[in-house]
Amino acid sequence: MDNPDQTLTDTNSRRAFLTRLAVTGLGAAAVGLAASAQAAAEPHQPAADTGHDYPMPAPHAMTAKQFYRGVIPIAVLSRAASGLAVDKATDPATKEFANFELREAIAVLAVLQDMGTPTPPMDAQAKATLAKLQSSQGAAFDKVYITAQLGAHEFLRDLSETYLRNSQGKGGMEETHGRHLSTLALPTFKEHVVHCKNIKAALQA
């Protein structure tokens, strides 16, 4: 099993790099080079590609806007849920993951909102998840939070993969930029799936 401290530290370093890259607005060519290098270096992780534990319908994005609009409600819920988990989580690995996830959700929302992506209100399903977290305590809270995060990142993984498949060959700067961002985000989504699976297994042991 991965060392949670080391894997989460590695993930945080990659997150910080990706956030700086997006916020500083480097050129599309530079983003494309970074994405290509990451894709070439990424080892195969079977655990990252399996599992569909999310309760929402399978994602299907054809355009960059659909991809962004699929990501933003997940980020809204993650910001709220991780804000709770930073204070309420009792498992050290869960609390550390929540701390990193909260900062990531804040950064993702800032970037997407700056790009003009509308921020929707929470739907009934998201409100129910948040209510369950608010009413849970201790080890039960940790399990609810990590299970929700696992499903969310499996959804984001599948959303990113469907968008990349469906947008192949589409021209225009918007779609090119969308593919670059999706390509950069996909390895992080997959890493989060693995981390959440590992933490969930440890919580159930």
Q: Residue 157: which domain range?
A: 4-22+64-204
Mean pLDDT of 120-125: 94
143 pLDDT band, cuts 50/70/90, is very high
Is residue 39 in some structural domain? no
pLDDT for 169 beyond 90: no
Count of domains forming the chain: 1
Is residue 54 in some structural domain? no
pLDDT of residue 67: 97
Q: Angle at which helices 92-114 and 4-24 pack, to 10 degrees? A: 10
- Residue 186 near residue 36, CB atoms below 8 Å: no
Residue with tokens 């992506």: 117
Mean pLDDT of 20-49: 47
pLDDT of residue 185: 94
At 57-111, the pLDDT tens digits run 889 899 999 999 999 999 999 999 999 999 999 999 999 999 999 999 999 999 9
pLDDT of residue 93: 98
28 pLDDT band, cuts 50/70/90, is very low
Rounded distance between C-alpha atoms, residue 176 and residue 90, angstroms: 42
pLDDT for 9 beyond 80: no
* CATH code for the domain of 114: 1.20.1260
At 185-205, the pLDDT tens digits run 999 999 999 999 999 999 998
- Residue 78 near residue 122, CB atoms below 8 Å: no
- Residue 131 near residue 178, CB atoms below 8 Å: no
Rounded distance between C-alpha atoms, residue 168 and residue 164, angstroms: 6
With a CB cutoff of 8 Å and minimum separation 6, the contacts of 188 are 11, 14, 15, 18
Mean pLDDT of 51-61: 85
Q: How many CB atoms lie under 10 A from the CB of residue 90?
A: 12
pLDDT for 2 beyond 90: no
Average pLDDT over the chain reads: 83
pLDDT of residue 40: 41
151 pLDDT band, cuts 50/70/90, is very high
Is residue 86 in some structural domain? yes
Rounded distance between C-alpha atoms, residue 136 and residue 88, angstroms: 9
